[in-house]
Amino acid sequence: MPNFMNNTSPRPYGWPAFALLVLLGLSAPYAIAATSDPADSSATGAFATEAETILTPYQIYLSEVSPDPRDIAGPYEEDLVHQTVIEFYEARNHQPAWIKDGKLQPNAQDLLDTLPYAPTEGLRTEDYRPEELAKLLDAFRASRPTETDIMAMDYALSQTYFVVAAHMTRGRVDTSSVRLPWYSTPRPMPSHEVLHTALNRRRVPQSLGELAPDRKEYQDLKKNLERYRNLAAGGGWVEVPGGPTLRPDKSPDSLRVATMEKRLHQEGFLSAVAGDGVLSESLQEAVKRFQESRGLLVDGQAGRVSIEEMNVSVEDRIQQIEMNMERWRWMPEDFGERHLRVNIPAFKLELWDGGDAPDTTIRVVVGRKKWETPVFSDSMRYVVVNPYWRVPSTVAGKTILTKILEDSTYLASSNFEIFTDWGRDAEKVDPATVDWESISATDFPYKLVQRPGPSNALGSVKFLFPNKFAIYLHDTPSSSAFKRWTRGYSHGCVRVEDPMRLAEFAFAADTLMTPEKFSKAVKSRRHRTFTLPEPVPVHLIYFTVEEQDGEVRFYRDIYRVDRDLARAIEKRRPLPKSE
């Protein structure tokens, strides 16, 4: 189980007692009012006296304190954390949790000593202002705390705990921080009972560590984050000069070859450096390993793209890992024992049937720029053979219209029909009667349907998991795109290289639908829809770093999600508090 580490080094005392209130932003008049004698009601009258008999001083404090007195919570978690803290104190009858008989308990120091280890989880220590918290603890220890001091200090510790807990569980920003449509349900905010248990057992560091996503994918990233930080501490790696493709049959520049050899050795793709500037077989194999680790074309030749990937700094790779750890906090805890997983930037579909690795991996084509494939989860329920393609209006206007204008026979040769609308009583339109030159690409007035056949854009099979995006998986009549290392070419739906293997997986629970029977249905050219006996969970995800077969893989951020997320996290960085 992942743990924050614990360190219990002593800290010096010495801050004046009033510093606690100053740092927490509480005014002196408020402090006096909160600690005045409850029996003295001459200034406030009978109503105030009655209220004081009902509300404890801590209840009054919680009703008036700022939700974020230390300025460590962002807008995403501030209200949620404050509500959890209130529930925490309500459950313990508004009694201090970190302080007993006016003295801080060891749990308080444990929390402070835990914060420097936040980076092991891809978080930033400075977001929690540990230096300020240390001053607050020192000031408290050096003082004779009033009731208000105790309340303020206890609240500050609880709020700090739950801010870290929220970041560990749900992330520091929400899914709206990226432009890619991202629809996933993050894990719930930890219950106040988590802190109760941690305090009672003195397990504050461990309890925070246990809030990290309990997934192998996350733990793999955490392990590689440590590895790449160690590489950065050792100086990172050299930059390979640009130039012509480095290949053995072109007498490559020996200086560039030697630099590339050193670069690959520094990241562990070569066990030793010859230093002779020769593009040897072992060096070519190292290039291939590197290319595979970046999702590139694996040919052993170091061209422009391979060199660009080699020259991505170790610091950028560290941030890339951190952003992927952050996004795993947005994902549901369980994808299901048996499920499909499309990792968009990796251009692959994985068929999972339990275990820690997929049973089958299939190449896919995903949405191009401005037609991005969204992130969401649903359940596959239907498989359609020899499907009709009902062309989305945006695709008809921006893509099909251009082809019609270039070739007046395009609709007929491609097996399209035209209708006035999508209704059952829609009228069929003769394309020869349409003035296509006058049609607007942004306001296409007709509905296009492509009949089943060899030219159908959906191929022979369509896999449906009904959703508001009208996204599905499907076959394709064109297989050339699957041979490319980058495969963002569709209008948002996911094209599958091996639909028959996917169908076999989808129908695994159907003893009557054998692969032979399904193949026969496809070859019949007859349009049919089959209902799956058991829905299959489908997850469209976006992760640019993963571990595969024990090796880390970095993929290009095709939709700039890593960039958007890093900027959003940077914007929520707390500003330095004014003195």
DSSP 186-211: PPPPPPHHHHHHHHHHT-HHHHHHTT
Distance, in Å, from the CA atom of 539 to the CA atom of 181, rounded to the nearest integer, reads: 14
- Lookup: tokens for 223: 């392990």
Q: If DSSP codes are grouped into helix, strand and coil, which group holds residue 276?
A: coil
CB atoms within 10 A of CB 310: 22
Task: Give CA torsion, residues 176, 178, 184, 188, to 10 deg.
Answer: -60
What CA–CA distances, in Å, run from 74 to 111, 322, 328, 568, 573? 20, 18, 19, 11, 8
Q: If DSSP codes are grouped into helix, strand and coil, which group holds residue 212?
A: coil
CB atoms within 10 A of CB 30: 15
Q: Name the residues annotated as catalytic.
A: 474, 493
Q: Are strands 389-390 and 545-548 parallel, antiparallel or unpaired?
A: unpaired
Spatial neighbors of 416 by CB under 8 A, at least 6 apart, are 391, 400, 410, 448, 449, 450, 451
Distance, in Å, from the CA atom of 523 to the CA atom of 520, rounded to the nearest integer, reads: 5
Which residue, 66, 71, 136, 69, is CA-closest to 99?
Answer: 136
Distance, in Å, from the CA atom of 25 to the CA atom of 45, rounded to the nearest integer, reads: 29
Distance, in Å, from the CA atom of 145 to the CA atom of 486, rounded to the nearest integer, reads: 63
Q: Are strands 545-548 and 551-554 parallel, antiparallel or unpaired?
A: antiparallel
Report yes or no: 489 and 369 within 8 Å, Cβ to Cβ: no
Give the DSSP letter of residue 177: G
Q: Which residues are 575's β-sheet partners?
A: none
Residue whose token pair is 């500037």:
277
Which residue, 534, 542, 555, 540, is CA-closest to 493?
Answer: 540
